[in-house]
Amino acid sequence: MRNGSHGQQPTGTTRRKRRRSTRLNVVTAVVLGIAIVATVSTVSVIHSSVESASRYIISGIGLYYSYPYVGRHGGDGDRSIDNDGSSIKNTRHRVYCMVPTMDSDSEKAKWTAILETWGRHCDVLRFFVDGDEQGAWYYWNATVRAAPSSSSLGDNDDNEKATHVRAKVIQIKTLRPRLCVSRDADKAKAKPCRNIWEKVWRTWQYVDEHDADEADWYVKVDTDTFFFPQNLRDYVASMRYQPSDPYYFGHQLRHAGPMIAGSSSAFSREALRRLAASTGSNATDKRCADGHGVEEPFVGGCLYSKGVVPRDAFDERGREKFMVLTLGEHLTIVPSKDIRLVKKYYEWYFGFGNPQTNWGKDCCSDRPIALHRIQPDQMRAMYSLFTQQGNHSDDRGKFMDVEREYLSTVKSGFSI
């Protein structure tokens, strides 16, 4: 039995091998156990995520494809004429277009042009006017060309069919006088007072109270601005901005304190919340208090006092996304060459440490967010150009050659 396997006593080397083998088996079993648990958890999470995503998308079709503020007549009047899928692809980047304006014939002509063009692409579009009854509202209507039958609405048989769109016009009651006259002036020659700040802070308080859950990004857009909602959505996504963080951006002017000014100003939901909670009767800082004048210095100063700093918006090549001047001025003025012109008229824009380095024809992003000082007929011509609708042979008279050349390169993000 000496050489038999059953009677042989294990040597020290054999015992060490067995211990190593045992430890290896234990380690292997632990690793396999962890892997199995992780796999099961991952499958569970994926299944849960897919299920949740499915529910979200299904509910999103109802929530975001039935915009409650830009819709059709008939039925519930809540369906948007524009659906390019952006609301599903950008569920965290819903855009609220707040347009402060006046109840006048000239302004109403702009409302109609906005509804016919870029306004159709906002998730929420509202016009705010001075009025005697706070919050009173009515619909402003426009008739536009219908979306193609291949759109997600799926109820247009004819691409030329007219479609009605509408947006709410909401009254904001202010306490400061709307018309200003000097002591010796004839009251018949009274002009509108520039008490814009009161109207704006009251408007943002109204929006925060009534529409804080309707969007992620809130943009104040002037009536002479051509706005690109999808380009804003893409920009905040590319910058990884979150609406729950305090963002306030556009074109930053530096000659009168920290502020965004010009064609439009964009706010995250959190920035809007801080602004609304700090103005008017809530003001604890004089920069947030009511006052006479335009709104931009007040907004910038108030938000700065609440830890929100203004941010410029340039593309990856350093080109402007929010235009302040006319498009022709942006495309033709080069500060290093037009020194006298800049010093006399444009120092406030080109000076004071403006960080932009591209000027002239290379000034402006091909994915702009806002173009300024655009007239209603130009809005329609631009929209026709961007969406490839209509006859463009008569558009040349509405733009300088340099403007038309730039517009032909613009990626608007519009899909109708």
Q: What is the pLDDT along the chain (416 residues), one digit of tens a residue?
A: 444 444 444 555 555 545 555 554 544 554 455 554 444 444 343 333 333 333 222 222 222 222 222 322 222 222 232 333 333 344 569 999 999 999 999 999 999 999 999 999 999 999 999 999 999 999 999 987 654 332 222 233 344 456 888 999 999 999 987 667 655 556 566 776 778 999 999 999 999 999 999 999 999 999 999 999 999 999 999 999 999 999 999 999 998 888 999 999 999 999 999 999 999 999 999 999 999 889 999 999 999 999 999 999 999 999 999 999 999 999 999 999 999 999 999 999 999 999 998 999 999 999 999 999 999 999 999 999 999 865 555 566 799 999 999 999 999 999 76
Q: What residue has token string 């004839």?
A: 186
Neighbours of 346 (CB within 10 A): 16
d(CA 365, CA 406): 9
Which pLDDT does position 403 carry in this prediction?
96
Q: Is 123 helix (H, G, I), strand (E, B) or coil?
A: coil
Neighbours of 238 (CB within 10 A): 11
Give CA torsion, residues 301, 307, 313, 315, to 10 deg: 160
Q: What residue has token string 């899928």?
A: 85
Q: Are 259 and 295 in contact (CB under 8 A)?
A: no
pTM of the model: 0.74
Q: Are 116 and 382 in contact (CB under 8 A)?
A: no
Instruction: Identify any residues that bridge with 162 across adjacent strands, giving them in sequence order.
Output: 145
Q: Which residue in 116, 119, 108 sits closest to 145, CA to CA?
A: 116
Long-range Cβ pairs for the range 392-395 (8 Å, 24+): none
Neighbours of 107 (CB within 10 A): 15
Q: Is 330 helix (H, G, I), strand (E, B) or coil?
A: helix
State how far the alpha carbon of 14 is from the alpha carbons of 20, 82, 121, in Å. 10, 78, 78
Which pLDDT does position 186 carry in this prediction?
61
Which pLDDT does position 23 carry in this prediction?
54
Q: What residue has token string 């705010």?
A: 128
